[in-house]
Structure 1
Amino acid sequence: MEEFAPYNFTVLSYPCNQFSMQEPGANSEILNGIKHVRPGGGYEPNFTMFEKGDVNGATAQDVWKFLTDTCKSPNPSVGVKNNLYWNNIHVDDVRWTFSDRFIVDADGVPYIRIYDPSDPYEPGGLRDDLEQYFRDGYIDL
């Protein structure tokens, strides 16, 4: 986020418990979990965190319904693990909140959906996609 801050870039975080029950805490507990457990060490996010909610299924938050309806999955197979917690799995569902990423412009228009399961905790190709987004005329690097 710091690297692209001069371009009015920000990260939006939506905690979710639909993936191996990795976010079981109440909204009031999530920030303490980040600060003291994972990643811990007093870490405090410098980005906006929204309330915990679902990203898939009938109870998905509206923002996720919009994103998955607008940006079809770049991975057309439904091969998902059995440790996911929603029904009626669909090909365009978010596969994992650390590996599915969306770049959305300042007006709320989705630019691209990225799916990279190779290293879900490292942004990896996301940097390249952001640089391409800026080069495509949205913002000049």
Structure 2
Amino acid sequence: MHDMQDTALLFQFGDANAAQLASSTLQELGYDPVIQQGSSVHIHIEGSDLTSALEIAQSHGGQLAVQSSIPDIELTNDAYNMANITIPAHVVNEDLVAQDETQSGYKNWDDDAPAEDDYFPDDGSYGYFSGDVHT
């Protein structure tokens, strides 16, 4: 697999406004974009997330113009390779698997709810004039 350190990418956009929007978004996420010729954005991938950069540029209508010797297919493979996707340990929850194995399984929590009228605090008696009394 190709090392993505110090890789330069150039995205071309339909107009300068789209390039500016993409550049602003990329900058907010820690990239160092440079707008070139009004409608192109140049960035360096230095340990940053290649997939995010591609998706941000594409969401603003940008197209990748490769300036390095990396073929397009290799860029795509590096961006979406399953080996590159990390899953933090706090996302994996063994308790859900253990719960599926139990006899009781899932339970509808609404079965234990009080009667529907218990949630309505107004008993309807106001002790005032009825609504049809006019002065």
TM-score range, shorter chain: under 0.3
Q: TM-score, normalised by structure 2?
A: 0.25
Q: Tell which structure's C-alpha radius of gyration is larger.
A: 2
Q: Structure 1 or 2: larger helix share?
A: 2
- Which structure has more RCO (C-alpha within 8 Å, separation ≥ 6)? 2
